[in-house]
């Protein structure tokens, strides 16, 4: 009789383990479907309000559903069948919700910062939320910059410009020549298009003057372009059309120096920063 006790005990353990496993799978499946159903119902409820401020929560709930679905997708096929799992394609819904959430959060943060007495804590909360929704949103740095301007007043005292690269293009004189004839007279007309470009790249750092703590760092690339057009004539001007005679009023000018063009690019950067904080 003793020879049968061990196999029976092992069988009992296997059965108990199997029962516990089935129970856990059932509970997992119930929890999965219940959580998705709750999120879905909440999403429908929020959408029915028609209010723009619901989109951040809608986006987060769609992400929760997708996260659970992605985790469930890693289970073995037989387990997924037992849990009645079906893959969910939520990419379009998530993209639409993200876009609307970003639009709301950016607009709301800008509205708060534009008020006469802005609540900077509320503005920063909205900006952080926008970062969580999409850290690559192009308005984040502008909103942070505007918040700093409200907090520190004169932003020039915390602004430090670093230049990593300076490039100046060649002096270009692109010409097109043609002939004009009038009353038997012929003249050669040449249109000149002068151009030259300077570009600087780097970053703008905003540093607290007391603690020397970095508040914000923004990469930049700005360019200054010189352009000028004029016309010259070889031959009698009486052979030229009225349009050509009008263009002759524009006289040639010298190309700007490299340094003057680079200085203009720096000034454009400063102007751009101050435009953003208005």
3-class DSSP assignment, residue 130: helix
Distance (Å, rounded) from C-alpha 17 to C-alpha 184? 109
Query: So what's the pLDDT on residue 3?
Result: 45
How many residues make up the chain in this entry?
Answer: 278
pTM for the model stands at 0.73
Its sign, for the CA torsion 243, 245, 249, 252, is positive
Give the tens place of pLDDT for each residue, 255-276: 999 999 999 999 988 888 888 8
At 192-217, the pLDDT tens digits run 999 999 999 999 999 998 899 999 99
d(CA 55, CA 168): 46
Do residues 203 and 224 touch, judged by C-beta distance below 8 A? no
d(C-alpha 197, C-alpha 189), whole Å: 27
């Amino acid at each position: 009789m003793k020879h049968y006790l061990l196999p029976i005990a092992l069988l009992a353990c296997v059965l108990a383990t199997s029962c516990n496993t089935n129970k856990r799978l059932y509970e997992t499946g119930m929890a999965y479907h219940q959580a998705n159903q709750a999120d879905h119902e909440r999403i429908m409820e929020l959408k029915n309000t028609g209010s723009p401020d619901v989109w951040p929560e809608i986006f987060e709930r769609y992400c929760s559903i997708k996260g659970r679905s992605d985790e469930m997708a890693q289970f073995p096929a037989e387990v997924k069948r037992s849990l009645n799992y079906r893959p969910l394609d939520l990419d379009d819904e998530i993209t639409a919700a993200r876009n609307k959430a970003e639009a709301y959060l950016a607009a709301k943060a800008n509205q708060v910062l534009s008020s006469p007495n802005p609540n900077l804590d509320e503005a920063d909360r909205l900006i952080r939320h926008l970062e969580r929704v999409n850290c690559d949103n192009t308005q984040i740095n502008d909103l942070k910059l505007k918040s700093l301007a409200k907090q520190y007043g004169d932003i020039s005292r915390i602004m430090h410009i670093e230049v990593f690269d300076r490039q100046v293009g060649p002096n270009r004189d692109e010409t097109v020549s043609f002939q004009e004839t009038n009353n038997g007279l012929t003249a050669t007309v040449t249109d000149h298009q002068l151009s030259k470009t300077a570009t600087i790249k780097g970053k703008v750092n905003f540093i607290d003057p007391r603690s020397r703590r970095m508040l914000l760092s923004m990469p930049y690339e700005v360019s200054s372009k010189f352009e000028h057009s004029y016309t010259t004539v070889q031959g009698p001007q009486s052979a030229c059309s009225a349009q050509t005679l009008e263009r002759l009023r524009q006289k040639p000018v010298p190309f700007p120096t490299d340094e003057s063009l680079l200085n203009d690019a720096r000034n454009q950067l400063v102007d751009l920063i101050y435009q953003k904080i208005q």
